[in-house]
Amino acid sequence: MTTKIEGAQTPALRPSNAAGNAAARPTGATSSAGSEVAAVANADSVKLSEEAADLAAVQKQLSDAPSIDSARVAAVKALLDSGSYRVNPEEIARRLAQLERELGD
């Protein structure tokens, strides 16, 4: 007599190659029947590239810097209040051109 079982789920697949089995065990571990799993001999490590380290340094500098330069705000406010603030269109154009060159690279 045979019974058909419907809706049964298949068990999760496990890697069957040597690389897959090695990935499932920590380095230095043994899997023989009577032995215990050995402790991991080498700790995982991460090494950042030079560019990533530079970016991390810049991010640190930016996070440490105040978001508003209070002294500059006070100076501009004083110039506005006194009516002596002057717009320099040549300086604005120069800085916009410089920014455009930097973004184009």
Tens digits of residue pLDDT in 16-73: 555 544 445 555 544 554 444 455 556 678 887 889 889 999 998 888 877 888 899 9
Predicted TM-score of the model (pTM): 0.31
Asked if residue 79 has pLDDT above 90, the reply is yes
**pLDDT value for 35:** 47
Torsion sign across C-alpha atoms 46, 52, 54, 59: negative
The pair of three-digit structure tokens given for residue 37, joined into one six-digit string: 């799993």
